[in-house]
Chain A
Amino acid sequence: MTMVPLDPSSKPTSQRLITEGDTVVVYERHDAMRAVAVRAGGVLQNRFGVFRHDDWIGRPFGSKVFGSCGGGGKAKAKAGGGGFVHLLAPTPELWTLVLSHRTQILYIADISLVVAYLELVPGCLVLESGTGSGSLTTSLARAVAPHGQVHTFDFHQQRAASAREDFEKNGLSSLITVNVRDVQGEGFPEEHCGAADAVFLDLPQPWLAIPSVGSMLKKDGVLCSFSPCIEQVQRACEAMKTSFTDIRTFEILLRTYEVRDVALKSVTSEEACVGPLPQKRRMLTSPGENTGCTQRSSSILVRPCSTAKGHTGYLTFARLCV
């Protein structure tokens, strides 16, 4: 199975059962997942127990599977005998959460904005540099599949090789070509001249590659440059002025919320009635609510999660002048 279906039969459905050779995302918790290649006789051991791959084969994706004893202790006890995990079909979003970080990677908020602003649709040809850990590359591949192409370039031989391996394992080889090339120094290869629908740059000195991008893009094609620092953005924007238009720079962050079923203490309860503020508030509650009921029924409350990313990078988009 491939992460991005290349034909109607290769997508995961409820009828598609886990088979040997599949990659599954083992979901322990929202912040604890890993990709596992399923093989006969294989064993996964984690804090929730010992899981035999053989027990997974033949089950649908999305199944909950229980581990046997022998794993770590406390979580197992909590789960009541045997710990469990869920086996998920891999998607580019899950891949971003489980891939091995060889570089800083792009996360979903930036990725989704990049794909939308690059106006990628199936069949597009997109160029990317550098490849990094392949987080964005995987989403680019999904956007242009089944007939489009992603040509990605990294000057780091080892990194390119690892990325190529990952794409291979995820069944994306027919969509992604990984090349070793110093795009800052050499530009993109001539063969893509005037053929690219979109170009993405994540380079330390993007302005060096921008003239080359200008010759790669189709007219009205979109360039995106991702930079963590504003100084990089400034120089990149300067370089874009000669042949690009519609130059816009954004910062996108994702604020997440936690939801709890909470029973807030009522101000009418005895212990709460100290100090001037509760007294004042009590006057606002209707008499009916006061009588006899000191415990309010619980309600669903929401608040932002206290930890969040404060900055990822600036996204600058521009269109090649017509």
Chain B
Amino acid sequence: MDSTPPPPIRREAWEGCSVLLDINDGDRLAFFRLTPGATVKIGNKTCSLQPLVGRPFGSLFRLGADGLVPCAAGDATSRDHNTRDGADGQTQDETRDNRSLVDNNTAQNLSSDDIEAMKRDGATGDEIVEALIANSSTFGNKTVFSQEKYKLKKQKKYAPKVLLRRPSARSICETYFKKTPARIGFMRVDTLSLLLSMANIGAYSDVLVVDMVGGLVVGAVAERLGGTGYVCSTYLGSAPCSIDIIRMFNLSSDMVSRIVQAPLSDLCSMHSSGNTPSLLNGGAEGEMVEPAVVPDEDAQASVAQQVDTAVSDEKAQLSTDQPTDMEVSEPSLDEHPVQDENSSLDGKGSDGNLNASKSSKAGKAPSPEKMKYWKEHGFSSLIVAAPGHEVEHLVADLLPLLSYSAPFAIYHQYLDPLAKCMHSLQVSKMAIGLQLSEPWLREYQVLPSRTHPHMQMNAFGGYILSGIRIHNTDCMIANK
């Protein structure tokens, strides 16, 4: 390494950064910005987030008398309950079962008044959990797994844990997919990963992006560019789509400066081919530009809720998790997973060089020089994520903006639009290596003698049409 670039990843939370808090092992997932006044509400307690500043990502916190307190190093592993229990669990032959359990609500000898009294006397959450176990008449009869489950349930209530996670394309996509999948067009993290690979995203790429998934793709691409190349986010009509999700990434100012926005009409008119873009001269235009996607969005929201319910069912069965927050059904779908109302969105009032202030500068218009360069050289990749749109004509307009041999990846939540698009590309011979695919992702529980796929899996994470733009024979003949 000739130069000494800054470390690619900051591994401690800093004042003003974006953080992902995982409360009680996935029960609640929310993004926060570590401004001086930022707080999180856990149970009925409002805690300042200041104790997180300077702590390494991956740190675990518990609720102390005065707010969040870092857990001792040994506790860190204890958050993997499902893997931890295995060692003792499997070695002893399990002979206990639930034959003698009677659900008559008399098993617990500790009353809620007793617990309140313990709290007043300054007992820690863990002590209360121990007391509950000691006073449970049925605990000893439970199986080891069932005992663990009981303990976890009580821990979540009386000794909540907060895990400080680093926002990255992976964790951001997972969080939105779990909480508000409609917001990101039901794009699962493995699908997003495939889009980035199939479109050959890497340093110095000039990536053309249509992002109607809230900025998830723009952010993920910017992360992969690492402050080199460009991500040019293009849009239909006159107003760009929201790319707010990029604020969840801790993009440096260098990286943010590489995000530009330009209307598709500008990009197409810069293209000298003389072909009038099919989308921009009547016909499909009204259909495309109208916010016809809004009712669609509503429909998706209700679907999203179902999906989330399914997720919470899974969690209940697996015993490691409780249902996720159901904030997805609430009206302000857009901003909900992000509770940064304490910080002004453009970073006013906080340190000037914070990412927050830079984020507001994302999406400037590209310079005329850049436009000229792209006109002559073409973009090196294309990713389209317009899950509420017909894409056949859109892609027909976008492909000529790519350099020859540039790969592209088109995302959709439905198969049909991609099939039509693929067919028309086959006919027009604008591209080769066309592949319509769908990733399938299954997670496993791995425990001694108890290894199997998770009982519930997400069955759908979106479809991808990928291919490579080629040098059109017609053009070649014309050139010669």
| A86 and B192 alpha carbons, distance in the complex (Å) | 28
Contact assessment for B446 and A316 in the assembled complex, using a CB-CB cutoff below 8 Å: yes
Contacts of A258 in B (CB 8 A): 436
Complex Cα–Cα for A6 and B204 (A): 8
Flag if B473 contacts A91 (CB, 8 Å). no
User: 1/0 per position for B31-54, CB-CB distance to A under 8 A?
Assistant: 000000000000000000000000
How distant is A321 from chain B, measured CB to nearest CB, in Å? 5
Q: In the complex, A143 Cα to B174 Cα: how many Å?
A: 20
- Asked if B189 and A300 make an inter-chain contact with CB atoms under 8 angstroms apart, the answer reads no
A251 on the interface (CB 8 Å rule)? yes
Q: 1/0 per position for A1-43, CB-CB distance to B under 8 A?
A: 0001111101111111000000000010010000000000000
A142 in contact with B202 (CB, 8 Å):
yes
Kindly list chain B residues whose C-beta atoms are within 8 Å of the C-beta of A128.
none
Q: How far is the CA of A149 from the CA of B419 in the complex (A)?
A: 40
The answer to whether A250 and B443 touch across the interface, beta carbons within 8 angstroms, is yes
Q: Are B441 and A250 neighbours in the complex by a CB distance under 8 Å?
A: yes
Q: Do B202 and A143 have beta carbons less than 8 Å apart?
A: yes
Q: Does B110 contact A (CB under 8 A)?
A: no
Identify the stretch in A181-189, A231-239, A283-291 within 8 Å (CB) of chain B at 4 or more residues: A231-239
Say yes or no: A89 contacts B405, CB within 8 Å. yes
The docked-state distance in angstroms from the alpha carbon of A92 to that of B201 is 10
B3, B76, B403: the one contacting A14 at CB < 8 Å is B403
Closest B residue to A314 by beta carbon equals B444
Q: Are A322 and B407 in contact (CB under 8 A)?
A: no
Which secondary structure characterizes the binding site on chain B?
mixed
Q: Which residues of A contact B6 (CB under 8 A)?
A: 123
Q: Which residues of B lie under 8 Å from residue A245 when comparing CB positions? A: 58, 76-77, 79-80
Q: Is the CB of B444 within 8 A of A122?
A: no
Chain A residues with Cβ below 8 Å from B58 are 219-220, 245, 319-322
Dominant secondary structure at the A interface: mixed
In angstroms, Cα B453 to Cα A230, docked, is: 11
* Shortest CB distance A40–B (Å): 21
Assembled-state Cα–Cα distance A220/B362 (Å): 29
Q: Which of B7, B200, B435 contacts A91 (CB 8 A)?
A: B200
Beta-carbon contact of A220 and B11 below 8 Å: yes
Residue among B200, B203, B377 having the largest count of chain A Cβ atoms under 10 Å: B203
CB–CB B441/A252 < 8 A? yes
Q: Which of B197-238 contact A (CB under 8 A)?
A: 197-198, 200, 202-206, 223-229
Whether B348 sits at the interface, judged by CB under 8 Å, is no
Q: Which residues of A contact B404 (CB under 8 A)?
A: 14, 60-63
Given the contacts A91-B407, A147-B3, A254-B440, A108 and B9 also touching, CB distance less than 8 Å: no
Is there an interface contact between B169 and A218, defined as CB atoms closer than 8 Å? no
Q: Are B200 and A93 in contact (CB under 8 A)?
A: yes
Q: Does B471 contact A (CB under 8 A)?
A: yes
Using Cβ atoms and an 8 Å threshold, which residues of chain A touch B473? Answer: 64
* Cβ-based interface call for B194 (8 A): yes
How many residues on A have C-beta within 8 angstroms of the other chain's C-beta atoms?
Answer: 86
Q: Which residues of chain B are within 8 angstroms of A320 by Cβ–Cβ distance?
A: 58
B390 to chain A minimum Cβ distance, whole angstroms, is 13
Query: CB-nearest residue of chain A relative to B469?
Result: A62
Q: How far is the CB of A61 from chain B (nearest CB, A)?
A: 4
Q: A322 contacts B7, CB within 8 Å?
A: no
Decide: B204 and A5 in contact? CB cutoff 8 A. Answer: yes
Cα separation A243 to B76 with both chains bound (whole Å)? 9
Any B CB within 8 A of the CB of A119: yes
Contact with B along A121-150 (1 / 0, CB 8 A): 111100000000000000100111111110
Cβ of A238 and Cβ of B448 under 8 Å apart? yes
CB distance from B420 to the nearest CB of A (A): 5
Evaluate whether A257 and B80 lie within 8 angstroms (CB atoms) in the complex, with A30-B433, A116-B189 already known: no
Are A218 and B11 closer than 8 Å at their CB atoms? yes
CB-based contact A219/B11 at 8 Å: yes
CB A259 to nearest CB in B, in angstroms, measures: 5
Verify B432–A116 contact, CB threshold 8 A.
no
Q: Give Cα A257–Cα B223 distance, bound, in whole angstroms.
A: 30
Separation of A261 and B420 alpha carbons in the complex (Å): 9
Known: A12-B405, A62-B471, A321-B58. A123 touches B5 (CB 8 A): yes
Interface residues of B in 132-178 (CB under 8 A from A): 166, 168-170
Q: Is A307 an interface residue (CB 8 A)?
A: no
Given A113-B193, A261-B423: 12 more A-B contacts, CB < 8 Å = A30-B433, A62-B406, A108-B197, A113-B441, A146-B204, A147-B5, A148-B8, A219-B11, A255-B439, A256-B435, A259-B426, A302-B415
List 17 contacting pairs A-B, 8 Å CB cutoff, sorted by A: A15-B377, A61-B403, A63-B470, A88-B468, A92-B197, A112-B193, A113-B193, A116-B170, A116-B190, A119-B9, A122-B8, A142-B202, A142-B203, A241-B80, A250-B442, A253-B439, A257-B436
Q: Could you tell me which B residues sit within 8 Å of A by CB distance?
A: 1, 3, 5-9, 11, 56-60, 73, 76-77, 79-80, 83-84, 87, 166, 168-170, 189-190, 192-194, 196-198, 200, 202-206, 223-229, 376-378, 380, 403-407, 415-416, 419-420, 422-423, 426, 432-444, 446, 448, 451, 453, 463, 468-471, 473, 476
